[in-house]
């Protein structure tokens, strides 16, 4: 499947999605964006997520729920 490189899978397939993790329509969510690297059988899907201090459980430790949400939404 060829995918528009400027739009994430979430933006293409669920542009009105309000999921906390990956919903493009959720202004207060994490807004995870997943991209397909190509058309070949060995293509990959990737996302970049840079946590902010308000995502921490305590100093320099990411909240486990945020980690779970990133994994859930990206691998969905």
Going by C-alpha positions, the residue among 58, 51, 43 that lies closest to residue 21 is 51
Residue 2 domain flag: no
Residue 1 domain flag: no
1-41 tens-digit pLDDT: 555 678 999 999 999 999 999 999 999 999 999 999 988 99
Question: What was the pLDDT predicted at 4?
Answer: 64
Residue 14 domain flag: yes
Question: What was the pLDDT predicted at 61?
Answer: 97
37-62 tens-digit pLDDT: 988 999 999 998 999 999 999 999 99
* Structural domains counted in the chain: 1
Q: Show the domain range for 34.
A: 9-75
- Inter-residue contact 19 to 13 (CB < 8 Å): no
Q: What pTM did the predictor assign?
A: 0.80
Question: What was the pLDDT predicted at 76?
Answer: 80
């Amino acid at each position: 499947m060829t995918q528009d490189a400027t739009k994430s899978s979430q933006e293409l397939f669920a542009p009105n999605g309000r999921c906390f993790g990956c919903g493009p329509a959720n202004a207060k969510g994490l807004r995870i964006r997943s991209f397909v690297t190509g058309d070949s059988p060995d293509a990959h899907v990737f996302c970049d997520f840079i946590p902010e201090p308000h995502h921490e459980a305590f100093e320099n430790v990411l909240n486990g729920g945020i980690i779970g949400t990133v994994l859930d939404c990206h691998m969905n």
